[in-house]
Amino acid sequence: MRIIEVSDYKQMSEKAAQHVIGKVRSLDCMTLGLATGGTPQGLYGELIEDHHVNGTSYKGVKTFNLDEYIGLSKKDPNSYFQYMYTNLFSHIDISPDNTHIPSGTAADLGEECDRYENMMEEAGGIDLQILGIGANGHIGFNEPGTSFQSGTHIVELTPSTREANARYFSSLEEVPRKAITMGISSIMKSREILLLASGKSKQEALKKLMENEVSEHFPASILKEHPNVTIIADTDALKLI
């Protein structure tokens, strides 16, 4: 794993954007794995600005998102579908047909997991996957204890994840209890991974990532076995390393 230290959230976002834009511009078509949450919001802002100023085109880009809440429809303001359209897709020239987010309202969720996994495979796999990291080491919504062999699957969200995400809802009670997420093996198949982390709340997670042994108790630890991972993190997040 390569670590790039930057001074703050803005620099993390800019550095990540440079990397993504370089990839998008160098490949005629590419598949980008996307994350939601507070961490990549600045990156998406930078991509939008660059699209407007420099004309980087996303016509040849396919995207696959990591996860979605179970039970929230595409119209729900807290769905990751809405997040992606608000924070990125509506502002760039990507074709909606090329964007993929697992459905949290499919009638048969098991079938939806298989469909999503197959679609990623048919697209030729993910060239570059963006990741955040949860305080408990989750990547996507793969909570501690998730099998490293897992493909796209349904998860029970831990109390700490629901509490961390309650800031987007009007109460903790409203935060869904389940989600559909790419699995650890789905993520590990990506050819390249860019993990972003900013702020004090990520200090412990990054320390454990660097120091702990590879274990399903700390899902992100598996990234140490991936041949092409870059961490872009700010000074606050890296303070314990």
Per-residue binder mask for ligand PGA (CB under 6 A), 196-215, x = binder: --------------------
Distance in Å, CB of 133 to ligand PGA, minimum:
6
**DSSP assignment of 13-79:** HHHHHHHHHHHHHH-SSEEEEE--SSTTHHHHHHHHHHHHHH----TTEEEEESEEETT--TTSTTS
CA quadruple 230, 84, 168, 162: dihedral positive or negative? negative
- What residue type is 228 in one-letter code? N
- Annotated active-site residue in 46, 117, 143, 234: 143
Asked if 136 is an active-site residue, the reply is: yes
Distance in Å, CB of 230 to ligand PGA, minimum:
17
Return all residues near 229 (Cβ < 8 A) that are at least 6 apart.
1, 2, 192, 193, 194, 195, 223
State how far the Cα of 160 lies from the Cα of 239, in Å rounded to an integer: 22
Binding to ligand PGA by residue 130, rule CB under 6 A? Answer: no
Q: Which residue is nearest to ligand PGA (CB)?
A: 37
Asked if 67 is an active-site residue, the reply is: yes
State how far the Cα of 181 lies from the Cα of 154, in Å rounded to an integer: 6
Distance in Å, CB of 64 to ligand PGA, minimum:
16
Name the strands in the sheet holding 193-197, side by side, starting at the edge strand that comes first in the sequence: 2-6, 229-234, 193-197, 128-131, 30-34, 61-65, 99-100
Residues in the chain: 241
Asked if 8 is an active-site residue, the reply is: no
Both tokens of residue 63?
A: 């995207």
Q: Which of 132, 137, 151, 219 binds ligand PGA (CB under 6 A)?
A: 132
- Annotated active-site residue in 19, 51, 138, 153: 138
CB closer to ligand PGA, 134 vs 151: 134
Asked if 153 is an active-site residue, the reply is: no
Number of residues that bind ligand PGA (CB under 6 A): 7
Site for ligand PGA in 36-75 (CB under 6 A): 37-39
Residues that bind ligand PGA (CB under 6 A): 37-39, 132-134, 138
- Catalytic residue annotation: 67, 136, 138, 143
